[in-house]
Amino acid sequence: MDWTALRVSLWLGAGTIAILLPCGIWFGRLLAVHQFRGKVLVEALVTVPLVLPPTVLGFYLLVLFGARSPLGQAFQSLAGQTLPFSFEGLLLASAIANIPFVVQPIQRGFEAIPSDVRDAAACCGLTPWQRFARIEVPLAWPGILTAAILTFAHTLGEFGVVLMVGGNLPGETRTLSVAIYDRMQAFDDRSAGIMAATLLAIAVVTLMLTTTLSRRVGLRRG
- Interface with another protein by CB under 8 A: which residues? 114, 116-117, 119-128, 130, 134-135, 138-139, 220-222
CA–CA dist 34, 28 (Å, integer): 10
Instruction: Tell me the three state secondary structure of residue 86.
Output: coil
Indicate the residue among 139 and 202 with the shorter CB distance to another protein. 139
* Min separation Cβ 118 and another protein, Å: 9
In the complex, what is the shortest distance from the CB of residue 23 to another protein, in angstroms, rounded to a whole number? 24
170 vs 218, which CB is nearer to another protein?
218
In the complex with another protein, which residue's Cβ is closer, 143 or 166? 143
The C-alpha atoms of residue 20 and residue 94 are separated, in whole angstroms, by: 10
The distance of closest approach from Cβ of residue 128 to another protein in the complex, given in angstroms and rounded to an integer, is 8
Cβ contact 95:161 at 8 Å: no
| Residue 219 Cβ vs another protein, minimum distance, rounded to whole Å | 10
Q: In whole angstroms, give the CA distance from residue 17 to residue 25.
A: 11
Q: Cβ closer to another protein: 22 or 128?
A: 128
What are the distances in angstroms from CA 76 to CA 66, 94, 163?
10, 19, 21
Cβ 131 to another protein shortest distance, Å: 8
* 77 versus 116: smaller Cβ distance to another protein: 116
Say if residues 173 and 85 touch (Cβ distance below 8 Å): yes
Residue 159 phi/psi, 5-degree rounding, is: -125, -55
